[in-house]
Amino acid sequence: MNRRRFITLSGALLAGALAGCTALSAGPRKLGEQVQPGVTPDIDEETLSELARETNQLAFDLYGELTEANPGENLLASPVSVTTVLSMAYAGARGETREQMREALHYTLNDERLHAAFNALQRELNARGDDIDKADIPDNFDSDDNPVPFQLNLVNAAWGQEESPFRDSYLDVLEDHYGGGLREVDYRNDHEGVREKINDWVADRTVGRITDLLPKDSISKRTRLVLTNAMYFKANWLHTFEKGATSRKAFTPLDGETTEVPMMSQSVHVPYAEIDGAKAVDLPYLGETVSMLLILPPEGEFESYEESVDRSTLVRFVDAFETPKVSLSLPRFEFESSFSLPDALGELGMPIAFRNNANFSGMSPRALRIDDVFHDTYIAVDEQGTEAAAASAVEAVPNSSPAYSFTADRPFLFAIRDRPTGTILFLGRVTDAGDAQ
């Protein structure tokens, strides 16, 4: 059985099109779920670092757009989830559509190396936690409540309208570098059922943290392809907080109205730095390959400081880190974020992908455009560690017929006619509708 028509792809936490033949898939190609891509890539660390830099640049671009659209709100986005699902669409983009996506997503690698780099990165990240030493697991780890001290799972899937033509060269890219083949579904006759099926798949891959990635009426009988990414992360701190040290303390939000929240506290040796009045601390998870970097802007300057933060800000802090003993207080928190990204991505420089002149001819011989990009996230931070999930989806639909309009706001003619015979029964004009009231 051929694997290409039953896709499940592996994603990437940090953070493409192959020029190929135009042959069409001759028929259904199905296989069970495949976690890893089909090809083992030959990618060096420098290339992986370049892909990470590209994704980090997108992170701050996207963050800026989302904070501007959602002022004052708690917010979480996963640039890796977004760039991974869009790289799957990029694999089928051509012409100006491809160039806009490439620039907006900061892709610098050539297309073949880009897909191979995503392949290598997602393999590496899915293996995070494999080498954790059991001796490093905290004494207060509750194996009944949290049986796995470190989890990082990234998976993707593509859901295509059955019998729609998708190019073999496009399906090859998905199989070779993202892992699997196309899941055939029937949007024409059961788009709501397919929506629920996709949402169930996402919910299962995010342990129920993201249950409604595709909201009601988000897809229709016109949908031809949905590309999805799901990412789940749950890990214990290397240095857990004692629950007995957590107490309610004051927290002052942007509006200045102080409230009390559960504040976790401990004194611990962790990376720490101060630059231009801002403080940063880097809290490692088990295995120390993944951490949470926290930045506290100067008091009273959050909004102005936030606007200035970019990829280089993190680099400066990382370069300045020392490891003193830090008296650390951090609130417990838990929240979800949900976005529709076409406006943000359009502002970042790829509007054509959402228009009728979009060119995804590398994906299908039929004219398609991206109708929407959905992105949901979840995070919870407590004394034990962090749980986070993200999911993204790209919906592709056929290009719409041109939009026509008729607005009779000036003099016009009219005729009343018998359609079977063509006989005109009345013929007239309206030159001043005001006088005709």
Task: Find all residues with CB under 8 Å of 279, minimum gap 6, and list them.
Answer: 272, 273, 295, 296
User: Which carries the bigger pLDDT value, residue 39 or residue 422?
Assistant: 39
Structure tokens at 343: 């406006």
**Average pLDDT for the chain:** 83
The pLDDT of residue 16: 24
Q: What is the mean pLDDT of residues 25-48?
A: 61
Position 268 scores a pLDDT of 93
Q: What is the pLDDT of residues 326-369, one digit of tens each?
A: 999 999 988 899 999 999 999 999 999 999 999 999 999 999 99
What is the model's pLDDT at position 399?
87
Mean pLDDT of 180-206: 92
pLDDT given at position 274: 93
Could you tell me what percent of the chain has a pLDDT over 90?
Answer: 52
pLDDT at 424: 61
Query: Mean pLDDT over residues 142-155, rounded?
Result: 78
* Mean pLDDT along residues 17-32: 27
Measured from the Cβ of residue 97, the count of other Cβ atoms closer than 10 Å reads 26
Q: What sign does the dihedral 303-308-314-320 (CA atoms) show?
A: negative
Query: What local confidence, expressed as pLDDT, does residue 120 receive?
Result: 86
Mean pLDDT, range 131-147, rounded to an integer: 73
Binned at pLDDT 50, 70 and 90, residue 32 comes out as very low
pLDDT of the residue at 414: 62
Asked whether this chain's domains 45-236+333-398 and 247-331 adopt the same fold, the reply is no
CA torsion 133→135→140→145, rounded to 10°?
40
**What's the pLDDT score for residue 403?**
61
Say yes or no to pLDDT of 405 above 80.
no
What pLDDT, on the 0 to 100 scale, is given for residue 8? 25
Closest CA to 171 of 359, 40, 358, 364: 364
- Per-residue pLDDT, 14: 24
- pLDDT, average across residues 217-224: 94
Q: What is the pLDDT of residue 422?
A: 66
Domain ranges of the chain: 45-236+333-398, 247-331
pLDDT band at residue 228, thresholds of 50, 70 and 90?
Answer: very high
Q: What CATH number was assigned to the domain covering residues 247-331?
A: 2.30.39.10
Considering only the top CATH level, what class is 45-236+333-398? Answer: alpha beta
User: Is pLDDT above 70 for 235?
Assistant: yes
DSSP conformation letters of 160-218: EETT---BHHHHHHHHHHH-B-PEEE-HHHHHHHHHHHHHHHHHHHTTTS---SS-TTS
Torsions phi, psi for 242 (to 5 deg): -75, 130
State which amino acid sits at residue 293. Answer: L
The whole-model pTM stands at 0.84
pLDDT recorded at residue 33: 47
pLDDT at 186: 96
Average pLDDT over residues 57-84: 90
pLDDT in tens, 92-125: 999 999 999 999 999 999 999 999 999 888 888 8
Mean pLDDT of 43-57: 90
pLDDT digits (tens, 9 = 90+) for 257-304: 888 899 999 999 999 999 999 999 999 899 888 899 999 998 888 889
Asked if the model's pLDDT at residue 212 lies above 60, the reply is yes
- Distance, in Å, from the CA atom of 18 to the CA atom of 116, rounded to the nearest integer, reads 11
pLDDT computed for residue 392 by the predictor:
95
Q: How far apart are CA 328 and CA 30, in angstroms?
A: 52
**Residue 89 pLDDT > 70:** yes
**Residue 397 corresponds to which tokens in the numbers above?**
């639909």
Displacement of CA 404 from its chain's centroid (Å): 34
pLDDT, residue 128, reads 84
As a whole number, mean pLDDT of residues 131-145 equals 74
Mean pLDDT of 392-404: 83
Mean pLDDT of 15-21: 23
The residue among 6 and 204 whose pLDDT is bigger is 204
Q: How confident is the model at residue 160 (pLDDT cuts 50, 70, 90)?
A: very high
For position 10, what pLDDT does the model report? 26
- pLDDT for residue 42: 85
Amino acid identity for residue 314 in this structure: L
pLDDT value at position 338? 95
Q: What angle do CA 55, 39, 179 make, to 5 degrees?
A: 65
Distances 152 to 20, 78, 116, 201, 291 between C-alpha atoms, Å: 33, 14, 20, 17, 13
DSSP three-state, residue 289: coil
Helix, strand, or coil (residue 402): coil
What pLDDT does 22 receive?
26
With bands split at pLDDT 50, 70 and 90, how would you rate the model's confidence at 39? confident
C-alpha–C-alpha distance, residues 398 and 367, integer Å? 6
